[in-house]
Amino acid sequence: MIDLFLNYLRYERNRSEQTVLTYGKCLRYFERYFKGKEDNLDWASVDADVIRSWMENMMDRGEKATSVATGLSAVRSFYRFALARGLVKIDPAHHVQAPKKQKPLPQFVKEAQMDSLLDASCGEEYKDVRARTIIILLYEAGLRRAELIGLDDDDVDFSARQLKVTGKRNKQRLIPFGEELANQLKSYMAIRDGQVEKNSEALFLGRDGLRISQSTVYNIVKEQLRQVSTLKKCSPHVLRHSFATAMLNHDAGLEGVKKLLGHESLETTEIYTHTTFEQLRRIYKEAHPRG
């Protein structure tokens, strides 16, 4: 039955060979499990409790939730196939729930590291000033990479000190900014206008005068953050995480951070509360008599 199902995946569904191999491995593992559990068990007599017991066994063996979910996906697909072909009379996997996948905590750069980077001297060439401005803007406004790239000159309001940002699904939000970012943006725009022939209304331009590319922004951030951080992935989104973590560490309300980040749901923002241990440490040291 397993071979019939795998041939169906391979030749009728055109699934990748890696998927076929993975599903085959999961199904044979499950078959060994239930046959070792009871001698008279077969694919037609397995029930939902046996499947749940197998999943618990995998988790007890130290398997990650993603691996257990993949195993269940293989069993579900197999039983849908077998039921449609009349090989079994019931689908015991239909109502079995996969384990919740644990979301990894967001990686962020520590405040002291960001201070070290931003307080260091910067070159006067266009690319150097542009790089510094991008880092400060991502860190102080918590923008996504696409939001930064999409900024036009008209989106910067120096009198009100706010940015008009277009986020996901073209939703716009206003983000306030302080004196440091205001001065940096003015310096950048002055150097840009003096050294680059503008062919776009974009705030950040390449040497061709057109809107800066995603890969250029990524490489700028990676090069800059590698100077102060040992994180494996030094991406623009790390600076967004760093913004949110710093805000919460300095007593910003969760609802306010949610609005600044442009999140739809508060649950998305709440993941950053797991990274604010430094705030708890500070409260403990200040409040506990022997802290």
The CATH number assigned to the domain holding 41 equals 1.10.150
User: Is residue 236 within 8 Å of 224, Cβ to Cβ?
Assistant: no
pLDDT tens figures, 167-181:
988 899 999 999 999
Does 102 reside within a domain? Answer: no
- Going by pLDDT thresholds of 50, 70 and 90, the confidence category of residue 155 is very high
- Going by pLDDT thresholds of 50, 70 and 90, the confidence category of residue 185 is very high
Both 132 and 249 in one domain: the answer is yes
Looking at per-residue confidence, does 84 or 290 come out higher? 84
10 included as an active-site residue: no
Rounded to whole angstroms, the maximal C-alpha distance in the chain is: 82
Return d(Cα 214, Cα 235) in angstroms, integer.
11
Instruction: Tell me which of 10, 52, 110, 263 is the catalytic residue.
Output: 263
Both 280 and 156 in one domain: the answer is yes
Does 12 reside within a domain? Answer: yes
Q: What is the mean pLDDT of the chain?
A: 91
CA-closest candidate to residue 167, choices 203, 143, 135: 143
Does 90 reside within a domain? Answer: no
* Whether the predicted pLDDT of 38 surpasses 90: no
DSSP lists the bridge partners of residue 157 as 162
168 included as an active-site residue: yes
272 included as an active-site residue: yes
Q: What angle do CA 256, 265, 168 make, to 5 degrees?
A: 90
Both 9 and 133 in one domain: the answer is no
Return d(Cα 245, Cα 237) in angstroms, integer.
12
**Which of 90-104, 116-130, 137-151 has the highest mean predicted lDDT (pLDDT)?**
137-151
Cβ atoms within 10 Å, residue 221: 23
Both 179 and 227 in one domain: the answer is yes
Instruction: Tell me which of 13, 28, 94, 168 is the catalytic residue.
Output: 168
Does 106 reside within a domain? Answer: no
Both 154 and 266 in one domain: the answer is yes
Residue range(s) defining the domain that contains residue 25: 2-84
Does 282 reside within a domain? Answer: yes
Check: pTM over 0.85? Answer yes or no: no
Return the exposure string of 117-139: e unless at least 16 CB atoms fall within 10 Å of the residue's CB, then b.
bbeeeeeeebeebbbbbbbbbbb
pLDDT (average), residues 196-219: 96
Does 209 reside within a domain? Answer: yes
Both 38 and 152 in one domain: the answer is no
* Whether the predicted pLDDT of 104 surpasses 60: yes
The whole-number pLDDT of residue 51 equals 96
The whole-number pLDDT of residue 168 equals 86
240 included as an active-site residue: yes
Percent of the chain whose pLDDT exceeds 90 = 74
- Going by pLDDT thresholds of 50, 70 and 90, the confidence category of residue 269 is confident
Both 78 and 118 in one domain: the answer is no
pLDDT (average), residues 133-158: 97
Both 154 and 60 in one domain: the answer is no
Q: Coil, strand or helix: which one is 268? A: helix
Query: In sequence order, what are the residues at sequence separation of 6 or more whose Cβ sits closer than 8 angstroms to the Cβ of residue 122?
Result: 128, 129, 131, 132
For the chain, what is the total number of helices (H) and then of strands (E)?
13, 3
Does 103 reside within a domain? Answer: no
Both 116 and 53 in one domain: the answer is no
User: Structural domain tally of the chain?
Assistant: 2
Both 41 and 178 in one domain: the answer is no
CATH number for 123: 1.10.443.10
DSSP lists the bridge partners of residue 165 as 173
Both 63 and 144 in one domain: the answer is no
Give the least confident one: 13-22, 194-203, 278-287: 278-287
pLDDT tens figures, 234-258:
999 999 999 998 998 888 888 999 9
Question: What values do phi and psi take at 28, rounded to 5?
Answer: -70, -35
Instruction: Tell me which of 52, 144, 173, 222 is the catalytic residue.
Output: 144
Does 217 reside within a domain? Answer: yes
Instruction: Tell me which of 211, 240, 241, 258 is the catalytic residue.
Output: 240
pLDDT (average), residues 97-117: 85
- Going by pLDDT thresholds of 50, 70 and 90, the confidence category of residue 273 is confident
Q: How far is CA 38 from CA 45, 75, 76, 154, in A?
A: 11, 18, 21, 71
Both 69 and 158 in one domain: the answer is no
pLDDT tens figures, 43-84:
999 999 999 999 999 988 888 888 999 999 999 999 999 999
Instruction: Tell me which of 15, 110, 164, 237 is the catalytic residue.
Output: 237
